[in-house]
Amino acid sequence: MSKLVIVESPTKEKTISRFLQGDYIVKSSYGHVRDLPVNGLGVKIEKNFEPFYVTLPKAKKILPSLKKISAEAEKIYLATDYDREGEAIAWHLIELLKPDKEKVKRITFHEITEKAILEALENPRSIDLNLVNAQQARRILDRLVGYKISPLLWRKVKSGLSAGRVQSVALRLICDREEEIDKFRPEEYWTIAAELRKIETEENFLAELIEYENEKLEKLSIRDQKETEKIVHSLEGLTYAVKKIVFKEKKKAPAPPFTTATLQQESARKIFFSSNKTMFLAQQLYEGVELGEEGMVGLITYHRTDSFQVAESARNEARKYISEKYGTNFLPSKPRIYKTKVKGAQEAHEAIRPTSLYRQPEEIKKYLTPEQVKLYTLIWQRFLASQMAEAIFDTLAIDITAGNIGLFRANGQKIKFPGFLSAYGGDEEKEKPLPQLKEGENLRLLKLIPEQHFTEPPARYNEASLIKTLEKYGIGRPSTYAPTISTITERKYVELKERKFYSTELGKTINELIKKHFPTIVDINFTAEMEKELDEIAKGKITWTKVLDNFYIPFSQTLSLAEKEMVRLRPIPQPTEEKCEKCGRMMVIRTGSRGSFLACSGFPKCRNTMPLRPCLYGRSSDEERQVADEATKPPNQSNK
């Protein structure tokens, strides 16, 4: 009799089929097979939050053949992804296939390699209902928030809006930062540098004034041009000499291998990929890529993780590779083991790494797309570096006197031993050369360089810094960052300009309404605590219905109050690319008693209006509204 292995994707099916032949049959479920209904809450609140699941249309086409094969199979191995969502998919499959439960086993693996698959088959287990319930609680929690608050926003603001547990916090972070920037008032300050020359060799270098008339200079010590000019004038014509040279050896350890969050951050920073693109490409690399004669190969370990753990076999392979390619002096005395500092990290997972360092990017790039090469190279280099020796720098700080009234300092560094920088480094580790000087040596002043500065407002969030902040506070999980950012962008709550987030007027309005009427939903601490409770469910320390009950009772009271108190807002003007014929400003779409029309954004200074032309926007305002209403029709509020 055959043994059936069920995975989620056809790519995984193809990759794993290479390793399991003979009696094994590998089949894909093509993702989720059941979910809460699209139309309707799908949760029986009064029956202890009992979910009402429906079979997805795509699954209806696949299930008959899966049922037939599973009925004939000697054993069934559920090999869905190694996380709570994967555990839930495995459980849903069993609920629908209804096989003999004695022959059903769950297997998990961090990487899709022959060794990992065979080891998983030797160590099967039962479905972990605690993990299933944690995922189920998250899904129901998000459904309660979304399907209860969103219709309220439709009635009070406009159709098509949404509110979510994690997305509302992300939006708040962006809006709060926008508010900080709006309130920020820059302060003027000045710095003074000296361009100096070593007389013997005519080498030039810069030093910065750090002390004047025996007072240390802080960032805002010199406040205006008049004061700067006075100091500069007093420093001219003085004798400049080396007072003190301090040599130090600085060591820098490599960063750990990637987690989902750090991969998304570094991918945005180094290769300018969005979080969505990063996860899409990582999925392909994990599930398998055709490598010529080698066939389908999983190139990286599972890409949804918040752990820095690395398998001992992978660490040993890394040490062997480093020794062969770089030499034993590039090896630390013992393998590097990193501890995860992320709140609620699932330590059973592994960090993201290549399945083998011997699959070097240069050698396999002909089989990959250019984008796959960039991401694989990033993951490969980061893991390699994480197991290498520290980089060692020779640093020096040179203090230079200007007569008896000023003290300047020049800082330099030189790489003594590159260590991990040979594989993976950044601009911050570059050398900063200084001439060889000795204490008491006189220097020639070439010029003094006063420079005006202004304090900067807090930086706007980009994808990397937003994900870093969400992770820092324990909001959401690795799999939620990319869809959260996509949602707030697609809903036009925020705009991405030059890779930075700007909150729109619509986003600000939604944020203010939710902050006012649902303060706990956008409270960072509350959302982080909810994640902790979901973790407690996964560990079997608390029941999932208890968590939902504790949330829903106060939430329903808040919802009832918001229904009464939230004021219906006038429709928010929507931006267009049409220019006003009278003043040149951009036109916006406004809605009045007779429908939608184009109006100048400069109102009330410019009162120009125009009909909303179907040829410009694809549909007339009535057609547009009808389509929008159909697409965002409020769900049936019954608890079926």
What residues have CB less than 8 Å from 322, skipping those under 6 apart?
330, 331, 384, 387, 388
Residues with Cβ within 8 Å of residue 136, at least 6 apart in sequence: 51, 88, 544
* Amino acid letter, 527: T
Do 534 and 474 meet the contact criterion of CB atoms below 8 Å apart? no
* Token pair for 445: 């002043």
Closest CA to 507 of 523, 526, 485, 525: 485
Helices and strands, counts by H and E, the chain: 19, 23
What is the residue type of 245? I
Phi and psi based region of residue 214 (left: phi greater than 0; alpha: psi -120 to 50; beta: remaining): left
Distance of CA 411 to the CA centre of its chain: 35
Is residue 302 part of the annotated active site? The answer reads yes
The tokens describing 75, both together, are 């054993």
Catalytic residue from among 82, 189, 302, 424: 302
Yes or no: say if 565 and 581 are a contact pair by the CB < 8 Å rule: no
Going by C-alpha positions, the residue among 410, 441, 450 that lies closest to residue 236 is: 450
Report in angstroms the alpha-carbon separations of 352 from 13, 42, 380, 437, 470. 21, 35, 9, 46, 19
Spatial CA neighbour of 16 closest among 94, 108, 88, 84 = 108
CA distance 190 to 573: 43
CA distance 170 to 513: 15
Q: Which residue reads 């959401």 in tokens? A: 476
Provide the annotated active-site residues: 302
